[in-house]
Amino acid sequence: MHEVVYTENIDMGMIGYYEFDGLLPGTYTVTETLLTGYWATTQLSATIIIYPFPYGPVSKRLDFGNLVPSADPEVNFVLQSGWNMWSTPIIVEGLTASSLLQNVGQSGVLVMKIDKASNSLLTYVAGDDPMFDFPIVVGEGYYLWVSGETVFQLEGFMPGPRTESLTDGWNFIGHDGLRPLTASKLLAKVQGAQALLVMGYNPHTGNLDTFVVGDDPMYDFEVTPGRAYFIWVSGAGTITY
């Protein structure tokens, strides 16, 4: 195993990625050094596996992000081209689907949410009539479509401790803390019903990460602020943040 150590002082006005060039086949460990006063919003250690095909050196990219805790944090978001399962971990006063797309910029195409009350999807497309606009709420998950890879920022304030209702079956939620946690710990926050599994899209692998109660710890993936996750509960319950 090869050891690759990368240390960087991250400017809060920027967010970006590590890119390693000229990697030969093998297994590499990438470790980020977290500076004092920063919170990790992505894992601090990651493994890169370069298989012996194609032949020749290859490049590998890893997105990263860190936050300085403050009363009114500015949060950076990285969106992949196409669909994103997104949520906001902070309260942004007056934030709606239309103003979210304005913050995203020219690549922001549409925002979609699941309205369980009407058992339908609500969609706002950039430039739509205001009658189709809807508020963006902390703790809820959204589908966000962008035409290209995008970085944008939102500034707001941290929500206080709160309890949200969950309905029987699938719920599309966001993690509203600035610190990541594991899928098993997210399930443990559910009360009044049995939380069976949590599932989320991993943009680094292009796969859906799934953790089921009782699974081997090797499947216990990291739940990251700024992304949205499906959680399955057997009956009506609550989740406490």
Per-residue pLDDT of the chain (241 residues; tens, 9 = 90+): 444 443 333 333 444 567 777 788 888 887 777 666 666 656 677 788 888 776 667 777 766 556 666 667 788 898 999 999 999 999 999 999 999 999 999 999 999 999 988 889 999 999 999 999 999 999 899 999 999 999 999 999 888 788 889 999 999 999 877 778 899 999 999 999 999 999 999 887 888 999 999 999 999 998 988 999 999 999 999 998 8
Q: Which of 22, 47, 67 is the last residue of a domain?
A: 67
Bridge partners, residue 150, by sequence: 79
Could you tell me if 130 and 80 are in contact, meaning their C-beta atoms sit under 8 angstroms apart? Answer: no
Single residue among 90, 125, 155 that ends a domain in this structure: 155
CA distance 95 to 98: 8
The answer to whether residues 47 and 79 belong to one domain is no
> 81 and 25, same structural domain?
no
Residues 95, 26, single domain; the answer is: no
Judge residue 187's burial from the number of C-beta atoms within 10 Å of its C-beta, 0-12 exposed, 13-18 middle, 19 or more buried. Answer: buried
- Whether residues 93 and 110 share a domain: the answer is yes
The secondary structure of residue 34, as a DSSP letter, is P
Q: Give residue 13's pLDDT.
A: 40
Q: Identify whether residues 198 and 234 lie together within a single domain.
A: yes
Q: For position 70, what pLDDT does the model report?
A: 62
Residue 236: domain span: 163-240
Model's pTM, two decimal places? 0.75
Give the chain's domain count.
3
Q: Which of 125, 155, 185 is the last residue of a domain?
A: 155
